[in-house]
Amino acid sequence: MADTTEPQETPATMTKAKLSPPAGDSTLKEETATEDTAKSAPTDPKAALAARMARFKTLQAQKESGRKATEKEVRDAEDRSARLTQISKLQDAHDKASYKLLKSTDPDFERKRNWDYTVEESESWDKRMAKKARSRDNVAFADYTQEANKIYKRQIKQMSAVDLAAYAASKAEKLQRQVQNGQLKLIESPDGDLYTVNPLNNQINTPAEESYSHDHKPSKEAIDKLVDDLDKGERARLKARAARGIRDEQDTGDVTYINQKNKQFNDKLTRFYNKYTTEIRENFERGTAI
């Protein structure tokens, strides 16, 4: 028969069983230790304030170091820019001095330098220099006709590119309309080419003069261009007045002059004789003058 008696526990086995804790007790002990550590943390207000002050001073130090680093970079960039400008000026001065030295030492310097240019380039340069000299000599005011001519030429140079296709289409439409109205005659040449002739002056392919019918409406682009030109002229006028020392804000008050010269003369009179005529002018203003 098999032995069914249960094994008896020895004192050593009982001691080991008592000493070995269960598996769930380790986690409980860790949580207890954490709570004890949290409870043992400093809860003194002074200590917490000191910690915050230390953190604040650290942040202030970081901010100050960042500011100093930024200022240093800005100064370095400005110094680099100033150095580059100075180097550029020194290089220009060196080039001019070298040119003057070579020109003074070698009598054939200009002729040798022109070897690098073609005849066409040399002639174009001479024409450009002559035109520039004429423009410089023609700066002084001569008469209003010459002044208007200069302004006209300057405005022609500043004009944008003309739409030749739109101009040709408008001209062809006008010629066709005048041929239909009988103002122009349409003639065919022996070669089969068609052209218009004005019977009054025998002009070919030229629209006849018409009276203005007040039905023309300019485009928005043309209106904007006209406004821009007017604004540009006004800015140029104000700039010229400012260059002569004239300001629009000086024209406030009573206008006692007819032109700028008269205004300067009145200002001179006021500067020299105002102290003698103050009482008389005040009496006139009060109406008590005799």
For the stretch 176-214, pLDDT in tens is 888 888 888 888 777 777 778 888 787 887 877 777 666
176's CB contacts (< 8 A; 6+ apart) are none
Residue pair 175/207 in contact by the 8 Å Cβ criterion? yes
Convert the pLDDT of each residue in 142-180 to its tens digit. Answer: 788 888 888 888 888 877 777 788 888 888 888 888 888
Q: Provide mean pLDDT across the span 48-52.
A: 90
Task: Output the pLDDT for position 174.
Answer: 84
Position 252 scores a pLDDT of: 58
- Taking residues 247-256, report their average pLDDT: 62
Task: Give the separation between CA 91 and CA 97, rounded to whole angstroms.
Answer: 10
Residues 235-252 have a mean pLDDT of 70
Sign of CA dihedral 221, 226, 227, 229: positive
Cα→Cα distances 71→48, 58, 61, 84, Å: 35, 20, 15, 20
Give the pLDDT of residue 32.
54
Determine if the pTM surpasses 0.85.
no
State the pLDDT at residue 56: 92
Examine the pLDDT at 290 and tell me if it is beyond 70: no
Q: Comparing 273 with 209, which gets the higher pLDDT? A: 273
Q: What is the DSSP string of 202-261?
A: --BS-PPP----S-----HHHHHHHHHHHHHHHHHHHHHHHHTT--GGGG-S----SSHH
Q: Looking up tokens 């009988």, which residue turns up?
A: 182
